[in-house]
Chains A and B, each alone.
Chain A
Amino acid sequence: MALGSLLARMTRTDRWLVLLLMLAAFASLWFVLGRSVGRSLLVYAGDTLAFTAPLDQDRQIELHGPLGDTLIEVVAGKVRVISSPCSRKICIGMGAIQRSGDLLACVPNRVVIRIEGEGGEYDLLSR
């Protein structure tokens, strides 16, 4: 099917909505990327705060969850999960985080890693 005939299926209002959603997406992207680099990381195991550490010192942290040990690494101000006992390894796939408000989570092993910036807690919603 030709592209033109598909385009003809969109009304003028539809095109405005496409534009509007694109703007909204870019605006939210701008908000997310514009956050400052964080200062320290907070590690939660289950519902309790297990560990806090500054981001500017490289280290490895081992956490004991219900499934086993989750290994977290801090290098050059970035945090990543390098090994996890969970089945889908989404936490490893999430890559490295460094900005305040960023979050790494391994739901199966009940581990949440959060980055805190300067000047208290800011997240996307409180701006």
Chain B
Amino acid sequence: MISSADEQLEQIRQRVFMALFIALAVGLHTLEALLPNPLPWFRVGLANILALTALSIYGLKGMWVLSLSRIFIGSLLIGNLFGPGFLLSFCGGVGACLLMSAGALLLKRGIGLVGLSLLGATGHVCGQLLIASLVVVQHQSIWLLLPAFLFFALISGVINGLAADLLVDYLLKHPAFCDCRKGFGRHHVEG
């Protein structure tokens, strides 16, 4: 039986770790904005590693909270809040979260973090291109970039997924996470 004190402790613990995850994700978001890009909008999406971690440990709500706050705080730090760059990353983030939620709910049994990461990367690309074609560039030709973006999403999705899987494995070994895992993404390797 779980007493309410334990529950409260668990809640506080989750809040603290979410704050840490968000801080880390904001750091990665900012770092990535500083890296040189081969093309505008090409992003490895390192911050998505933390979104996957939150999804795996705290479930859907954790992922949404983390992604959205990461984008707002990260954009505020970079200085493009509410600019076109922010709009792109916001819609990419929402697209990623939508596809990852769908994947987590529909393929609950089989899907691992790599699969979820792939869905996230694809959703990010689609969300970005959609908003770019509708608002920023206002021309359908932007969809010609789709193949390049998809190949890139494939590579970055697998890399991020593996990174998130390693991180979650590592975290779950710690007692703070032992019995609170209520998220998605099956682990092939038993930690």
A interface list, Cβ under 8 A from B:
5-6, 8-14, 17-18, 21-22, 24-26, 28-29, 31-32, 90, 101-103, 105, 107, 112, 114, 123-126
Interface of B is mostly: helix
**For residue B146, which residues in chain A have a CB less than 8 angstroms away from its CB?**
28, 32, 124
Q: In the complex where A21-B154, A25-B154, A105-B137 touch, is A10 in contact with B188 (Cβ < 8 A)?
A: yes
Which stretch from B48-56, B88-96, B107-115, B170-178 is at the chain A interface? B107-115
**For residue B82, which residues in chain A have a CB less than 8 angstroms away from its CB?**
none
Bound Cα distance from A9 to B56, whole angstroms: 14
Bound Cα distance from A6 to B150, whole angstroms: 22
**For residue A90, which residues in chain B have a CB less than 8 angstroms away from its CB?**
39-40
**For residue B111, which residues in chain A have a CB less than 8 angstroms away from its CB?**
11, 13-14, 17
The reply to whether A6 and B162 form a contact with Cβ atoms under 8 Å apart is: yes
**For residue A32, which residues in chain B have a CB less than 8 angstroms away from its CB?**
144, 146-147
Bound Cα distance from A24 to B99, whole angstroms: 16
Give the B interface residue count (CB, 8 A). Answer: 36
Q: In the complex where A9-B114, A13-B110 touch, is A28 in contact with B147 (Cβ < 8 A)?
A: yes
Q: In the complex where A9-B189, A21-B154 touch, is A123 in contact with B141 (Cβ < 8 A)?
A: yes
The reply to whether A11 and B115 form a contact with Cβ atoms under 8 Å apart is: yes
In the complex, which of the residues B142, B157, B188 contacts A103, with contact meaning CB atoms closer than 8 Å? B142
* Shortest 5 CB-CB contacts between residues of A and residues of B: A13-B110, A103-B141, A14-B115, A25-B150, A29-B147
